[in-house]
Amino acid sequence: MQMSFDYAPFFRADLPPAAARWTGFPEYNFVGGHNDADGVPVAALADALTNVMQRDGKRLATYGMGYGSLGYGPLRDCIAAMLEARAGMATDPDNILITTGSLQGIDLVNGALLAPGDTVIVEAVSYGGTLSRLRSLGVDYRGIEVDGDGMRTDHLAEVLAALKQDGVRPKFIYTIPTVQNPSGTVMSVQRRRELLSLAAEYGIPIFEDDCYADLLWEGERPATIRSMDQAGQVIYCGTFSKSIAPALRIGYVVADWPVLSRLLPLKTDGGCGALEQMALAEYCPSQFDRHVDELQKTLREKCRVMVGALEEQFGAAAEFSAPKGGIFIWVSLPEDVDTDQLAKAAAAQGVLINPGSEWSADANSGRHRLRLCFGHPSHETIRAGVARLAEICHDEFGVPMRSANVER
C-alpha cells in the first residue's frame, strides 16, 4: 500500500523524525554499547527462566507480579546483595526501582528534575545519549575537565563558584565515575570525596551513572559515591546491559523514597518486562560473578587487539590511554582531522565510529577525537576495520602519513 494520507499537520511541531530506517549493521561497527555475542550466557539464562517460571510464573497474571511498581521483588533483593558485595554499597531493596535499561532511569531523573533553561554539570566528555537528551530538553550543560583520576574537582569548584555568582544553581552533577564514557577513566576515591563535599557545600544532587563498573578489570572497584553519602544526595543508576546483555533492557535506579516517589509517576509503562526480570533474579545470585570474570577476560583481550590495531595502523597519529575496563577506546587524532567528516566518509565505506563532537560538552573540543567500541566485533573484524579506517583517514586528511611505517 502506498500511504497517501498526510500526517504532517497532526504531528507535534517539535517532533523530529527518526534519521532513517534500520538497514542492518555495517561491516565494521565500532559504535553502540553492544556486547560480545558468545559471552551472552544463553543456556544458563534459559535454564534460569524455565526454573523461575515453573515456580513463580503465575505471578504474570498481575501487573507488577504482586510486587508493586518498583519491580520484581527477588530482582531488587538480588541487586541489593550484588551492590553490597561488589560495590560496597548497602542498599535497601525498597530503594531500588527497576527500569527499562538505565536509559529509562536517566529519562525519569531528567523528567523529575529538569525544565528548559536549567543547568546541569557534566564531565567535559560524556555519554552522547545523556548530552543529546539534555539538549532536547533545552537544558544548558557545563563540562568539567577530566584527567586520569576522573572529573577534576578543582575545575568543578571554579565552575560552581562562577555559577553561584551568576545566581545559577545547577540541578545536578552527572558523572560516570567508574570507566567513564568515553574517556575510560576511573575516578579516584579522593576525588569522589571532594565531589561529594562540593555537592554538599553548594547543595546540589549528584547523579551517578555506574553503567560500566562491573566491567572494570584493572585495579579495585572504588566505592560508589552514593555509598559515601550520608545525606541521600546521590541518585545512582546501574544496568545489566553491559554485564549480561543490552537487549534485556533491564537497568535500575537507587535513590531514597522522596526521590523514587517523584520518579514513579513518570514511569507510565505499567512495569518492565517480567521474563527478563525473573530470569536475571534467578541467574545472578549464583552465576553473575563468575560470568562477569569471564566476560572481562574476553573484553580485555578485544581491547588489547584494538590497541594493537590502532598502534599498527595509526602509529603516533592516534593518542589514547588503554582503558581499565569497559568496551570502548577514546582516541585523539591530530587537530586538523575533523572526525565528523571522517565519520561520514567512513560510514559510506562500511565503518561506523562515534565522532568526538557528539561525546563532548563543547562539541568543538571533541572535533578531532573519536570513540571506538570493541565489545561486539571479533578480533579479525577489529583488525580489518581499524585498517580500513586508517586508509579512509589517510585519504581524507593525509593522516596517518604513509611514511609512518604503516603496513597494509
Ligand X SMILES: Cc1ncc(COP(=O)(O)O)c(C=O)c1O
**Residues at the interface with ligand X (CB under 6 A):** 33, 101-103, 127, 129, 176, 181, 209, 211, 239, 241, 246, 251
Distance linking the first and last C-alpha atoms of the chain? 49
User: 91 or 126: whose CB is closer to ligand X?
Assistant: 126
Residue of minimal Cβ distance to ligand X: 101
Minimum distance from residue 64 beta carbon to ligand X (Å): 21
Whose Cβ is closer to ligand X: residue 150's or residue 246's?
246
Q: Which is nearer to ligand X, 119 or 181 (CB)?
A: 181
- In the complex, least distance from residue 241 CB atom to ligand X, rounded to whole angstroms: 3
Angle between helices 274-314 and 73-87 (to 10 degrees): 40
Which of 79, 387 has the CB closer to ligand X?
79
The least CB distance from residue 50 to ligand X, in Å, is: 25
Q: Which is nearer to ligand X, 119 or 354 (CB)?
A: 354
CB of residue 8 to ligand X, shortest distance in Å: 31
HEC profile for the chain? Answer: CCCCCCCCCCCCCCCCCCCCCCCCCCCEECCCCCCCHHHCCHHHHHHHHHHHHHHHHHHHHCHHHHCCCCCCHHHHHHHHHHHHHHHCCCCCHHHEEEECHHHHHHHHHHHHHCCCCCEEEEECECCHHHHHHHHHCCCEEEEECEECCEECHHHHHHHHHHHHHCCCCCCCEEECCECCCCCCCECCHHHHHHHHHHHHHHCCCEEEECCCHHHECCCCCCCCHHHHCCCCCEEEEEECCCCCCHHHCCEEEECCHHHHHHHHHHCCCCCCCHHHHHHHHHHHHHHHHHHHHHHHHHHHHHHHHHHHHHHHHHHHHCECCCCCECCEEEEECCCCCCHHHHHHHHHHCCEECEEHHHHECCHHHHCCEEEEECCCCCHHHHHHHHHHHHHHHHHHHCCCCCCCCCCC
Which of these, 139, 128, 125, lies nearest to 168 by C-alpha position?
A: 139
The neighbour count for residue 67, using CB atoms within 10 Å, is 18
In terms of CB distance, is 209 or 276 closer to ligand X? 209
Closest distance to ligand X from the beta carbon of 396 (Å): 27
CB of 279 to ligand X, least distance (A): 16
Q: Quick one: 101 or 205, whose CB is closer to ligand X?
A: 101
Nearer Cβ to ligand X (48/179): 179
Shortest separation between residue 242's beta carbon and ligand X, angstroms: 7
Give the nearest distance from C-beta 367 to ligand X in angstroms: 21
Phi first, then psi: what are they for 290, rounded to 5°? -65, -40
Nearer to ligand X (CB atom), residue 79 or residue 103 = 103
Beta carbons of 99 and 269 less than 8 angstroms apart: no
Beta carbon of residue 248, minimum distance to ligand X (angstroms, whole number)? 9
- The smaller minimum CB distance to ligand X, of residues 212 and 397, is found at 212
Q: How far is the CB of 211 from ligand X (least distance, A)?
A: 4
